[in-house]
Amino acid sequence: MQYPETLNKLIQILKSLPGIGPRMAERVAMHILKMETPDINNFAYTLIDVNQKIKNCSTCHAITEIDPCEICTSTTRDTSIICIVEQPSDIFAIEKTNDFHGLYHVLNGVISPIDGISPGDLNIRTLLTRINEDVNEIIVATNPNVEGEATSIYLAKILKPLGVKISRIAHGVPVGSDLEYIDSMTILKAFEGRQKI
Amino acid sequence: MQYPETLNKLIQILKSLPGIGPRMAERVAMHILKMETPDINNFAYTLIDVNQKIKNCSTCHAITEIDPCEICTSTTRDTSIICIVEQPSDIFAIEKTNDFHGLYHVLNGVISPIDGISPGDLNIRTLLTRINEDVNEIIVATNPNVEGEATSIYLAKILKPLGVKISRIAHGVPVGSDLEYIDSMTILKAFEGRQKI
Q: Are residues A49 and A73 in the same domain?
A: no
Q: Are residues B91 and B181 in the same domain?
A: yes
Q: Are residues B35 and B126 in the same domain?
A: no
Chain A contact present for B101, CB below 8 A: no
Instruction: Provide the residue range defining the domain that includes B40.
Output: 5-53
Output the CA torsion sign for B193, B99, B197, B184.
negative
Examine the pLDDT at B180 and tell me if it is beyond 90. Answer: no
Computed over every residue of chain A, the mean pLDDT equals 92
User: Does some domain include residue A58?
Assistant: no
User: Does some domain include residue B77?
Assistant: yes
Q: Looking at residues A104-114, what average pLDDT do you find?
A: 94
What is the number of domains present in chain B?
2
Query: A136-189: per-residue pLDDT in tens?
Result: 999 999 998 899 999 999 999 999 998 899 999 988 888 888 888 888 888 888
Q: Are residues A184 and A101 in the same domain?
A: yes
Chain A contact present for B44, CB below 8 A: yes
Q: Are residues B76 and B151 in the same domain?
A: yes
Q: Are residues A183 and A92 in the same domain?
A: yes
User: Does some domain include residue B83?
Assistant: yes
User: Does some domain include residue B168?
Assistant: yes
> From CA A133, how far away is CA A136, in angstroms rounded?
8
Q: What is the pLDDT of residue B175?
A: 86
Q: What is the pTM of this model?
A: 0.83
Query: What is the ipTM metric for this complex?
Result: 0.84
Q: Looking at residues B127-155, what average pLDDT do you find?
A: 92
User: Does some domain include residue B58?
Assistant: no
Q: CATH code at B188?
A: 3.40.1360.10
The answer to whether the CB of B5 falls within 8 A of the CB of A50 is no
Q: CATH code at A26?
A: 1.10.8.420
Residues 167 to 196 of A: which have CB under 8 A from any B CB? none
Chain A positions in Cβ-Cβ contact with residue B3 (cut-off 8 Å): 92
User: Does some domain include residue A181?
Assistant: yes
Chain B contact present for A9, CB below 8 A: yes
Q: How confident is the model at residue A2 (pLDDT cuts 50, 70, 90)?
A: confident
> From CA B197, how far away is CA B188, in angstroms rounded?
19
Sequence-separated contacts (24+) of A92-99 with Cβ below 8 Å: A92/B1, A92/B3, A92/B26, A94/A141, A95/B1, A95/B2
Q: Are residues B93 and B49 in the same domain?
A: no
